[in-house]
Amino acid sequence: MHDKFAAVARELIDSVEPGFDFLTLRGLCGPGVCRLSLTSGPSAEEMTLPHHPSVADVISVELPGTAFELQVQADGTFEARVPEDVILEAVGSVPPIYTVVREPRYRSVEHKASSLAEVEAVIGAALPAEVHELFASGAEMVGDVRLLRIDDILYYWNAWAHQFGYYPREWELPVQYLGPPGAVRLVSFNLKWVPIGFTDCADLVCVDLAPGPAGRVGQLIQVAGEVPLTYLADSVTGYAPPAEEPDYGHLGQELEINGQDLDLARLASVRDLAIVDGGVLRLGELAHLPLERLQVTGDEIELPACETLTSLVVRSSGRVELPSLPSLRVLDVSGADVDVESLPEVEYLVLNPEQWQRCSQQPAAASLAGEVSVAGVLDWARERGPAQPDQVFRGRA
């Protein structure tokens, strides 16, 4: 990275008219999205950014899904700062959304293993004897599941840990489940789920070392993706491909409806509800439902005091009062008029720029929704108090 920043610093110096005091290049990078800002001296006025290969190389290859700030002096000396434990994701949405994760659910660390014993040492749990026997046999398939190579197990384990550790909108998504009640813990991912293969539809299959109260250590599960979280068998030796495609239509746990279509009987088993195009919405009667996530858009909204609700997104042109929601952990009111000073403490909070100016919360993860300069986003991120200092690169172009 040092050499990359040195190359960028040199190209900036060569591309800008002489006479500047110092140049500052700031960047916000996300999947398929990149915002850059170049200023000269203390001025906040943005300059035309030169398009050179090394600038694009640093952005697209070295720093995906994060932020950086590079300051270049007229004599060629430079200092670049990259947040160590802060991920800023510039999402291609309107308005833009920028996310800082101070305390990820899981901290992904690159591990390698050439034996199941090394896998067990990293995960901190023993795999059943039948799993050891399966991999020792040299088998490539178990039914319709293609087995991973041992040295790929921790790669996929770490990738899934990173996905659910650093993307807070995934934290409280209701998990659809197909299988015996209580056999599998209803979470998006668990560090005691050990990937061993993929189905022919590219769904991840794991050995479950942390089952639910009615499950068995070593049971085989399919992680939620395009299909629900699925119990497959009580062990790798007990698995056989299903004779026919499972019926997911009866789950009835997720629903999007128009605001004028509040049929309580239809909503009785819904855990994930989105209400769109609402006018005046009186939702108090929904308080008894087993809702876990609610997304609601309307002109005037009365929210239900739902004890099971863990995730709430509200969009409204009117004032919205938040009821008591004791289980709430994810809250997005960036598109609503709310009393910011009395918001409940949550793990993940999404506000707009004006709301953040009045909010003193320091949640585990935070998002800024709205049009803000790159410099403004970086300042906001620093205020969130990253747990680790920035990476710093210094040198001469």
Q: pLDDT digits over 321-347, tens only? A: 999 999 999 999 999 999 999 999 999
How much of the chain exceeds pLDDT 90, in percent?
A: 49
Mean pLDDT, range 206-234, rounded to an integer:
93
Q: Domain residue spans in the chain?
A: 2-103+389-396, 116-233, 254-363
Average pLDDT over residues 85-103: 69
pLDDT tens string 11-52: 889 888 889 999 998 877 665 566 778 899 988 888 877 665
pTM of the predicted structure, to 2 decimals: 0.80
Buried b / exposed e over 122-156, threshold 16 CB at 10 Å, is bbeeebbeebeebbeeeeeebbebebbebeebbbb
β-strand 330-337 against 348-351: which pairing, if any?
parallel
Say whether 241 sits in a helix, a strand or coil: coil
> Over the stretch 273-312, which tens digit does the pLDDT of each residue have?
999 877 889 898 889 888 999 999 999 999 999 999 999 9
Within a 10 A sphere around the Cβ of 296, how many other Cβ atoms? 23
Tokens 């997720």 sit on residue = 254
- Residue whose token pair is 């190359």: 7
User: 364-375 pLDDT, tens per residue?
Assistant: 999 999 877 777
* 346, 51 contact by CB (below 8 A): no
| pLDDT of the residue at 339 | 96
Residue 206 CA to residue 216 CA, distance in Å, equals 13
User: What pLDDT was estimated at residue 60?
Assistant: 47
CATH number of 2-103+389-396: 3.30.500
Instruction: Write out the DSSP string of 46-68.
Output: BPPPP--HHHHHIIIII-TT-EE
